[in-house]
Structure 1
Amino acid sequence: MPSLADQLAADIQAALAEAFSKGLIEGSAPESITLERPKNRDHGDYATSIALQLAKAAGKNPREIATILQGAIASIAGVAKVDIAGPGFINITLDRASQAELVRTILTNKYEYGRGLALAGVKINLEFISANPTGPLHLGHTRWAAVGDSLGRVLSAAGAQVTREFYINDRGRQMDLFGQSVQAAALGKPIPEDGYQGNYIADLAKEVVAANPAISTSEEFREAAYKVQLTQQQSVLETFHTVFDVWFSERSLHESGAVEHALEKLRQQGHVFEQDGAVWLRTTDFGDDKDRVILKEDGDLTYFASDTAYYINKRERGFDICIYMLGADHHGYIHRLKATAACAGDDANYNVEIMIGQLVKIMEGGEELKLSKRAGTIITLEELVEKVGVDAARYTLIRYPVNTPMVMDIDILRRNTNENPVYYVQYAHARIAAVLRNTAELGIKSDLGSFDPSQLSHDRENELLGALAEYPNVVASAAEFREPHRVARYLEELAGVYHGFYADCRVLPMGDEAIAPIHSARAALCAATMQVLANGLDLLGVSAPERM
């Protein structure tokens, strides 16, 4: 079922086509019409700048084109008024009943309301977290666990086929140090100076020895501890409502011959060269600040060799877009990954995207909680959840743009007040659920069979309907710009608009007042608002409680 805005745009498109066919406007009609919701509701329910867009090609003044279209748009069913503003903006006001039909659209589509097809058919590999399996997931990983999972939900809502992928960095020196550290802890010896010092190392050592008392070598400790630590990471992430479709091992690239395959493919593209006994990829051909070594003079492969093989592996698995969500210290990866894509013959501006997440600071009791992974004083994902809960942690981490640093105030997130944003949104959902329980007890129907859209004529009702109409655009823009925080901020605005409606428009009859169609219409509007709040919270991986 098309949205009200989509139907209106289609009707305006038809009016435009007719104006062109009659020679009233020269040129040809555009492929689509863009409608916006004016911030000032006095300017109507929708506005379009189509007259300004057509003016130059048509050789007419924009207001003249707007005047030509004014009458045709005014004749569209459900349009109450059409005004021309400024240099040629067309402001459209719908009659209240047409505007209120949105309630029917939402309650008919339910969970599907807001979902679209902008990315239909696009296969996206979304890689995030990708932590070393050498310790617990810390706060930096936690931000990506929330944002990455939410982005995956948003992209899916826009029609994309999304695969969430965790790249396990299970090869290299850090893994050897990890094994040596666990072995030292098990034997009661000092941890290597450059090893892992956290208390979790001693816990791992106990678990590994308990499972295999005969274990002895550092390699055996490495493999056993790796398995335990990875299982713990997976378990913690599931608790955090973050589930991956693929756990991809770096080792598998080397064991399967994928690295050699990638090198040969890049060689065929003409960007591999040899110098000083080493094998290089000429990434400077595509904007990188320096060429990258793939195979060192001593015959060892570099970490970059894994990066190139991994990217090519993703593309050969059929993904159109590879999104990398990396930490704040990975800015250098932007140019080298894009250059790698270009060296492989891909479109670096389409096939690969790199998102850099900034740091998170935690405040509690007015003081910053310091983080230091190697010293063992890290704030882990588990500890954060213990302090504030899954919903508050996820919502707060998602509601800020990832390219800006953020501060989490534990004390605020523990309060059940309006200054706690997740509580504010969840409370709106629970409040509506309570209202609908009351309407059901009084026999007030909130179903579509009893819904009369002409009853919703109050300014507060119109404001709420306008906010609900924006939800599909918010989801689409969140997917387009890879910014799930737009959904969170929208939900906060919607909650505020609902609270204003609730204060000024009584849903339940007062005293001995008879039940009237207005009560059913408002109950249906409440149900539609509750549905949109639930849909939005689901995109954030946050629960929508019916009681608080």
Structure 2
Amino acid sequence: MTPSALADLVRSSAVEVLSARGLDHGVLPDPVTVERPRNPEHGDYATNVALQVAKKVGLKPRELAEALAETLAKADGVEAAEVAGPGFLNLRLAADAQGELVSRVLSEGDAYGRGDSLAGVKINLEFVSANPTGPIHLGGTRWAAVGDALGRLLSAQGADVTREYYFNDAGAQIDRFVRSMIAAAKGEPAPEDGYAGAYINDIAAEVIRKEPSALSLPEDERHELFRRIGVGLMFDEIKKSLHEFGTDFDVYFHEDSLHSSGEVEKVVGELKESGSLYHADNAWWLRSTEHGDDKDRVVIKSDGNPAYIAGDLAYLRDKIGRGFELCIYMLGADHHGYIARLKAAAAAMGHSPDVVEVLIGQMVNLVSGGKPVRMSKRAGTVVTMEDLVEAVGVDAARYELTRYSVDSSLDVDLDLLRKHSNENPVYYVQYAHARLASLQRNAAELGIERAADVELGLLTHPREGDLIRTIGEFPSVLKKAAELREPHRVARYLESLASAYHKFYDVARVLPQGDEEATPLTHARLALCEAARQVFANGLSLLGVSAPERM
């Protein structure tokens, strides 16, 4: 029995108790909260529903709890229901009911844990979107890991997710990038406001290889040629790095297309017509303060050129026009002002501000030998995705970047992630999966085949119960992680599952030794272990991390 199934049972029992007394069961929360107590001696699960609703229906909490305990004690799958304190209710499940969960995991396989809380919701998830002026830095790498994991989680709850990369190929930063490449091609220092690093020299050399006469072209033609080829080469490299990191996108959207197609002019015209823009100081301003922003935003500058928000307006309009019900933006720490700005943009166009959701990620630093790692071999000024992957590998990098809330800055300890020990979180989780896979191989070598009818009610050891209940939490963890946009909940859950498994393994021998024969308990424990292995594999897959069978 899963926690959610138990919560449904508690609620239906409470409805029965209140209805029998002619009391309003509409006061019951939905769902009812059912949690594992800190002290396992108190029971398998506990609920405070009697404390929550007793006064609303004119009963004493303990009186309601006692009536509820009497009803629940008769329910299938409940071994005992006991009242504690002023009205808490502690529940113990029957071994058979817990065993049903193992059967469910084995039956559902890869699908175990998935849900339908977001069924059919069309979501645009935009993340990374690093400027195509250099390799992806650590902040973008964090979004590549977290964004990809979040996309997997949302999909696992039934959402129709489009992963999108906004390619910033318009604006002043592209001009600086182009001037930097041309300077490198000429053998000159980078412009004062330009970009430096070995990658600039590499791309400039590749442009010259493709177009040997590039430097002899008139200035405007030369600039356009370096822009077209150089930006394309940089973006190809960014996509290659992301793919090797396990992160791919459904859509690569070019900012420049919004300007060249006239979409920016179109949305500006519509907002002028609706009165959402006003003219002041020779510029056009969005009335964003009317929708919760701290100040109105310039959309068309006094020189007649569009401000950056003009592209944002056209881009949001395009997303909504493609039928997305929710547009999630994953932005860096320096973009906090975009939350109110983008919500105001949605409202100004006549949509609910809730169509926009902005997640802000904090900075990432590398630490080695107790000291910060400052410089990249290739980029010169920042540490890149390639630097991190080269240091610890894709799995360790992705896992470490997803196991913390993005609200907090993160110091990645390279020395820790290189360790093959339980101190290293990704090793701890992957090793648990590998150990379980090894157990199944060893069983096969002993000639022990999976039994058709396993007596899962034999799993009565406290450590077995703890492992089963931890496995049972997986669906609710995934649902909450998707709801709160927090993939780190999955990583932390997998670590708690690894802990529960290792504690079980330390006290419960699974395979027979010597001349011993396999017993019904052997088959029950093998089934439990296979269920645990399946949950590890499912959880790691949602984080984009491999589940090795040998380590």
| TM-score tier (shorter) | over 0.9
State yes or no: 1:498 paired with 2:501.
yes
**Which residue of 411, 429, 434 corresponds with 1:407?**
411
Contact 1:185 1:201 in 2 (8 A): yes
Q: Which deviates more, 498-507 or 434-443? A: 434-443
Q: How many residues align?
A: 544
- The 2-side partners of 1:365 and 1:22 are apart by 67
Distance 1:355 1:26 in 2: 41
User: In the alignment, is the contact (CA less than 8 A) between 1:446 and 1:527 conserved in 2?
Assistant: no
1:253 counterpart = 2:262: no
Q: Give the distance between the partners of 1:15 and 1:413, measured in 2 at CA.
A: 49
Where 2:54 maps in the other structure, the secondary structure is: helix
Question: Does residue 423 of structure 1 match 2:427?
Answer: yes
- Give the Cα–Cα distance (whole angstroms) in 2 for the partners of residues 105 and 406 of structure 1: 38
Aligned partner letter, 1:543: S
> Residues 537 and 543 of structure 1 are in contact (CA less than 8 Å); yes or no, is this contact kept in structure 2?
yes
> One-letter code of the match for 2:394?
V
Moved more, 15-24 or 395-404: 15-24
1:466 aligns with 2:469: yes
- CA–CA distance in structure 2, aligned partners of residues 103 and 128 of structure 1: 37
1:445 and 2:449 matched:
yes
CA gap of 1:473–1:332, structure 2 versus 1, over 3 A, is same
Give the distance between the partners of 2:496 and 2:105, measured in 1 at CA.
18
Give 1:148 deviation, angstroms: 0.7
**In the TM superposition, what whole-angstrom CA distance separates every residue of 1:432-453 from its partner, at most 9, and x where no partner exists?**
1111111111122345x24211
Q: Which runs of 5+ in 1 are unaligned?
A: none
Structure 1 CA distance, aligned partners of 2:25 and 2:192? 74
Tell me which residue corresponds to 2:361.
357
Q: Distance in 2 between matches of 1:268 and 1:318?
A: 23
| 2:372 counterpart (343, 368, 372) | 368
Q: CA deviation at 1:214?
A: 2.6
Provide the rounded CA distance (Å) in 1 between the counterparts of 2:522 and 2:546. Answer: 28
In structure 2, what residue type is equivalent to 1:28?
G
Identical amino acids, percent of aligned pairs: 53
Q: Distance in 1 between matches of 2:8 and 2:423?
A: 41
2:544 counterpart (522, 541, 546): 541
Q: Is the 8 A contact 1:198 1:374 kept in 2?
A: yes
Corresponding residue of 1:531: 534
Mapped partners of 2:14, 2:358: distance in 1: 41
Distance 2:146 2:405 in 1: 9
Could you tell me the TM-score, scaled by structure 2's length?
A: 0.95
Structure 1 counterpart of 2:238, from 233, 246, 251: 233
Q: Which moved more, 1:260-269 or 1:389-398?
A: 260-269
| Structure 1 residue 481, shift from structure 2 partner | 0.9
- Deviation of residue 372 (structure 1)? 7.9
Q: Which amino acid aligns with 1:94?
A: L
Work out whether residues 363 and 369 of structure 1, in 8 Å CA contact, stay in contact via their aligned partners in 2.
yes
Residues of 2 paired with 1:308 and 1:191: CA distance? 34
Which residue number in structure 2 is paired with residue 117 of structure 1?
116
The answer to whether the 8 Å contact 1:450/1:520 transfers is no
Question: Superposition pairs for residues 266-345 of structure 1, below 5 Å?
Answer: 266-345=271-350
Asked whether the equivalents of residues 27 and 57 of structure 1 are also in contact (C-alpha less than 8 Å), the reply is: no
User: 2:377 & 2:435 partners in 1: Cα distance?
Assistant: 42
Contact 1:20 1:29 in 2 (8 A): no
Report the alpha carbon displacement of residue 264 of structure 1 after superposing the two structures with TM. 3.5
Structure-2 residue corresponding to 1:12: 10
Three-state SS of the structure 2 residue aligned to 1:28 is: helix
Query: What letter is aligned with 1:330?
Result: H
User: 1:511: how far off?
Assistant: 2.4
Q: Which runs of 5+ in 2 are unaligned?
A: none
- The CA distance in 2 between the partners of 1:264 and 1:160, in whole Å, is 34
**Contact 1:176 1:219 (C-alpha < 8 Å) held by counterparts:** no
Deviation at 1:133, TM superposition (A): 0.8
| Corresponding position of 1:83 | 82
CA drift at 1:377: 3.2
Alpha-carbon deviation of 1:373?
11
**Contact 2:125–2:329, Cα closer than 8 Å, also in 1:** yes
Q: Could you say if the C-alpha distance between residues 374 and 459 of structure 1 is closer, same or farther in structure 2, counting changes exceeding 3 Å?
A: closer
Deviations 1:125-174 (A, max 9, x none): 11111111111111111111111111111111122111111111100111
**Cα distance between partner residues in 1 of 2:43 and 2:460:** 14
Which residue, out of 385, 394, 404, partners 2:398?
A: 394
SS in 2 for 1:301: coil
Question: Deviation per CA, 1:483-512, whole angstroms, max 9, x where unpaired?
Answer: 100100111111111111111000011222
SS of residue paired to 2:192: coil
Superposed CA deviations along residues 81-117 of structure 1, whole A, max 9, x for unmatched, are 0011222222211111211211101000111111111
Deviation per residue, 1:256-278 (Å, 9 max, x gap): 22212322343454321111221
Q: 1:191 to 1:7 in 2, by over 3 A?
A: closer
One-letter identity of the residue aligned with 1:97: D
- Distance in 1 of aligned mates of 2:426 and 2:125: 26
Change in CA separation of 1:196 and 1:40 when aligned onto 2, cut-off 3 Å: same
Judge which range, 278-287 or 252-261, deviates more.
Answer: 252-261
In 2, are the aligned partners of 1:106 and 1:528 still within 8 Å (CA)? Answer: yes
**Aligned residue identity for 2:496:** E
Taking structure 1 as the reference length, the TM-score comes to 0.95
Paired AA for residue 303 in structure 1: Y
Range moving further from structure 2, 63-72 or 243-252? 63-72
Q: Where does residue 52 of structure 2 map in the other structure?
A: 53
Residue 187 of structure 1 deviates from its aligned partner by: 2.1
CA deviations on 1:500-530 (whole Å, 9 max, x unpaired) are 1111000011222221111111011100000
CA deviations over 1:50-90 (Å, ceiling 9, x no partner): 22232233111122222222222111111100011222222
- Distance in 2 (CA, whole Å) between partners of 1:322 and 1:160 is 12
Aligned mates of 1:369, 1:332 — CA distance in 2: 29
Is the CA contact 2:118–2:154 (under 8 Å) kept in the aligned structure 1? yes
Contact 1:49 1:88 in 2 (8 A): yes
The answer to whether the 8 A contact 2:3-2:473 is kept is no
CA distance in 2, matches of 1:298, 1:223: 26
Cα shift at 1:29? 6.4
Q: Cα deviations across residues 2-32 of structure 1 (Å, max 9, x unaligned)?
A: x633433333343333334433534436454
Cα distance change on mapping 1:373 and 1:86 into 2, 3 Å: farther
Two-structure CA RMSD over aligned residues (Å): 1.8
The one-letter code of the counterpart of 1:432 is: L
CA drift of 1:342 comes to 2.4
- Asked if the contact 2:131/2:169 (under 8 Å) is kept, the reply is yes
Residue 35 of structure 1 aligns with which residue? 34
Shift of 1:545: 0.2
1:42 CA drift (Å): 1.9
